[in-house]
């Protein structure tokens, strides 16, 4: 199945979405991580499209969505959550399910605890929680803060295989698709990651100011049925945090994926079946 591309104005910014499945099917929002884009969910969305309508945005500053002229104000989880609410309202989604990887999970947490509380029925948090390990933020900034350029796509693919090795992507085709959907051309013809460099700049400022986030008060307000997927070797979601998430707030169902770090790619049959089973529950 091939998705449709749609463009919406959300909180004043133009946002690109991939729209999979029937318009009258139950809606699922799939939201990617910090430096990623909507195509990360291609395999998951294709597998779920027979049952659901999958709405998969490129966060502003990524992919085909607009880059913000006000990055310090708009490259933030609260602003993304505001856009998510407008997305649900514009498309008339009275109830929906949410699958969020890393940053996409944080956006889902905020939305499920506030403006979309009561409308998000199922929430999948893919390797993220209310507390984030500072070391993981610094690791991400090491590659995101100074995006490289490449003469050829195979060079870029090898780079992505290195920095995203912890994703556990299922096969060579998955890596090639990630590379092909993650790049833009520079004026000199070289490739570079398809992300506004200001995204990393804002994250660095937040981390330096100690604003990387403590979202426990929000997590405790979530009423949605919640599944926590954790890479067993994750450096972003500590085991203690994951354990606490099963005891408070929505009391998430927790499943650890062995041999994977931050964050599971949700692109192989076992992980897809895990998500599909939860969403259908």
Classify residue 149: in a domain, yes or no.
Answer: no
Per the structure, the complete domain to which residue 229 belongs is given by 4-134+213-280
pLDDT digits (tens, 9 = 90+) for 88-101: 999 999 999 999 99
Into how many domains does the chain fold?
1
Q: Which structure tokens are listed for 23?
A: 């318009």
pLDDT digits (tens, 9 = 90+) for 187-214: 999 999 999 999 999 999 888 776 655 7
Report the interhelical angle of 103-113 vs 77-90 (nearest 10°): 70
Secondary structure element (H or E) that encloses residue 245, with its range: helix 239-245
pLDDT digits (tens, 9 = 90+) for 170-186: 899 999 999 999 999 99
Classify residue 58: in a domain, yes or no.
Answer: yes
Classify residue 158: in a domain, yes or no.
Answer: no
Classify residue 28: in a domain, yes or no.
Answer: yes
Residue 142 has pLDDT above 90, yes or no: no
Lowest mean pLDDT segment, chosen from 142-146, 154-158, 246-250 = 142-146
Classify residue 195: in a domain, yes or no.
Answer: no
Classify residue 78: in a domain, yes or no.
Answer: yes
CATH of residue 238: 3.40.50.1820
Classify residue 52: in a domain, yes or no.
Answer: yes
| Whole-model pTM over 0.95 | yes
Termini Cα distance of the chain: 24
SS3 of 23-77: the string is: CCCCEEEEECCCCCCHHHHHHHHHHHCCCCEEEEECCCCECCCCCCCCHHHHCCH
Classify residue 160: in a domain, yes or no.
Answer: no
Q: Mean of the pLDDT values across residues 234-247?
A: 97
């Amino acid at each position: 199945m091939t998705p449709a591309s749609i463009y919406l104005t959300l909180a004043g910014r133009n946002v690109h979405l991939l729209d999979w499945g029937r318009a009258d099917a139950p809606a699922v929002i799939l939201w990617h991580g910090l430096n990623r884009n909507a195509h990360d969910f291609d395999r998951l969305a294709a597998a779920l499209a027979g049952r659901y309508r999958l709405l998969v945005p490129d966060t502003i500053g990524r992919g085909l969505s607009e880059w913000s002229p006000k990055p310090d104000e708009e490259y933030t989880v609260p602003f993304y959550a505001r856009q998510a609410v407008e997305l649900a309202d514009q498309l008339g989604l009275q109830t929906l399910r949410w699958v969020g990887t890393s940053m996409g999970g944080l956006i889902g947490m905020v939305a499920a605890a506030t403006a979309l509380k009561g409308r998000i029925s199922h929430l999948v948090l893919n390797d993220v929680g209310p507390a984030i390990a500072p070391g993981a933020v610094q690791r991400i900034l090491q590659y995101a803060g100074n995006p490289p350029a490449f003469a050829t796509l195979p060079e870029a693919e090898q780079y992505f295989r290195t920095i995203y090795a912890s994703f556990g992507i299922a096969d060579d085709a998955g890596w090639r698709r990630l590379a092909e959907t993650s790049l833009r051309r520079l004026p000199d013809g070289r490739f570079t990651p398809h992300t506004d460099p200001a995204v990393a700049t804002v994250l660095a400022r937040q981390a330096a100011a100690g604003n990387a986030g403590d979202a426990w008060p929000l997590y405790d307000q979530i009423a949605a049925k919640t599944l926590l997927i954790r890479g067993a070797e994750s450096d972003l979601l500590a085991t203690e945090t994951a354990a606490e998430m099963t005891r408070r707030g929505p009391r998430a169902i927790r499943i650890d994926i062995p041999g994977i770090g931050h964050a599971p790619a949700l692109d192989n049959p076992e992980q897809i079946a895990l998500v599909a089973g939860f969403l259908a529950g």
